[in-house]
Amino acid sequence: MLVAERRKKILDLVNQKGSVRVTELSHMFSVTEETIRRDLDILESQNKLRRSHGGAVKIQDREVPYFEREIINVKEKQDIAKLAVQWIQPGDRIILDASTTAWYMAKIMPNSPLTVLTNSIKVALELSEKEKIKVISTGGQLSPRSLSFVGPLAEKSLQQYHVNKAFLSCQGIHSTRGISESNELQALVKRKMMEIADEVNLMVDFSKFGVQAFAHSGELHQVNRLITDAKTKEHHVQQLRERGLEVIQVKEELNR
């Protein structure tokens, strides 16, 4: 296989899987790990991927439109949402962000006395059918790609409230670089959401681990609980647990 062909296949794998490891690529292409590291360094210098510890991750500098996110990793997001709902109690005041996982939560949330603060049009519409739930929208600048409100008005609105639980997702979570978003305006809103919540629950599917997206949105120490799906690799889970983060994985819950 020609070098250019190998590098193209590596890039295709990174974009498809979200992240790859040097050892995995070495076995796949029957070349040394040093050769793979050189390939990854070249691809990073061309701004086609980002190097991570032991491998590489996909560059996610654009905000993926909502209709695209709706059909990505659907089962995993639904599993995470089902698990996350267990931490909601009647009388809670909660935040749901504009992630598709939060929307899946809204679809299955019980119609019980709750107050839900959200910047998501989809979440607000979903909850409007549940008469016992009080829904508060942040308002602000409409982001057509995410069907959510962002910007200074959304941030100012959030400052007026205090909630006991936040349920948020992200574009990337990295064991040393924290939590990130592909869009700076979304990152700023999520920072504010974490600031006004007593408890932060981060809902992250397997494709987000080891990824550093464009805009930093938070630190790991700000998260009380991370909820993920059965496909998340053990080494990612272990890295976060070693940093003191409580990680709840769907497969663990289903086996209890």
Q: What is the pLDDT of residues 192-241, one digit of tens each?
A: 999 999 999 999 999 899 887 878 999 999 999 999 999 999 999 999 99
Are 230 and 152 within one domain? yes
Do 228 and 237 contact (CB within 8 A), yes or no?
yes
- Structure tokens given for 38: 């050189």
CATH code, 172: 3.40.50.1360
Q: How far apart are CA 59 and CA 55, in angstroms?
A: 13
Alpha-carbon distance of 115 to 191, in angstroms, equals 20
Same domain? 51 vs 156: no
Residue-number span of the structural domain to which 33 is assigned: 3-57
What residue type is 54 in one-letter code? G
User: What single letter denotes the amino acid at residue 71?
Assistant: I
- Residue-level pLDDT at 255: 43
Say whether both 117 and 243 belong to one domain.
Answer: yes
Question: Do 11 and 100 fall within a single domain?
Answer: no
**Are both 191 and 225 inside the same structural domain?**
yes
Q: What stretches of 107-237 adopt beta strand conformation (E)?
A: 114-118, 133-137, 141-143, 148-150, 163-168, 172-174, 178-181, 197-204, 215-218, 225-228
Does 74 lie in the same domain as 182? yes
Mean pLDDT of the 71-88 span: 91
Alpha helices, H only, 111-182: 121-127, 152-159
Q: Which amino acid is at 198?
A: D
Joined tokens for residue 98: 């504009």
Q: Distance between CA atoms of 57 and 41, rounded to whole angstroms?
A: 12
Taking alpha carbons only, the member of 118, 73, 108 closest to residue 209 is 73
Same domain, 236 and 120: yes
Asked if pLDDT for residue 70 goes beyond 80, the answer is no
